[in-house]
Structure 1
């Protein structure tokens, strides 16, 4: 289920995005980027619709996924 991220409290959304970018195995290429830069990148992708915030009932977790990888 896609979560309407614009309805979330700003602090809640920030925490979800930070948790996502801090996950082990998240790759941002050869150049290291700051946490702020990574969070800004994800927020930009949410704004543009490139990625969506998704709730998994099976795993009882929230994830950020490319829109094309999510099937409603």
Structure 2
């Protein structure tokens, strides 16, 4: 189930994005990128709909997923 990011409380959206960008294995490259920059980049991707928020009710988890990687019919 896709959750429109605009429907989330600002604090909830911030927490979701921050949790996503601070996951282990998300650091690539030789330079450190500030957390605020990473969060803003994800916000822009959500606004452009290149990334969507997906909730899986079966396992009660929320993920950020590239729109082009969504299963058909979603």
Q: TM-score, normalised by structure 1?
A: 0.90
Matches within 5 A, 1:1-72: 1-71=1-71, 72=74
- Note the C-alpha offset of 1:28: 4.0
| Structure number, greater radius of gyration | 2
Gaps of 5+ in 1: none
Report how far residue 52 of structure 1 moved.
0.2
Q: Distance in 1 between matches of 2:28 and 2:2?
A: 24
| CA displacement at 1:56 relative to structure 2 | 1.4
Which 5+ residue runs of structure 2 have no aligned equivalent?
A: none
**Once the 2 structures are TM-superposed, how far is the Cα of residue 25 of structure 1 from its aligned partner?**
0.9
In structure 1, what is the Cα distance between the partners aligned to 2:10 and 2:55?
A: 18
Residues 1:3 and 1:33: Cα distance change in structure 2 (over 3 Å):
same
- Count how many residue pairs are aligned between Structure 1 and Structure 2: 72
Q: How far did 1:70 drift? A: 1.1
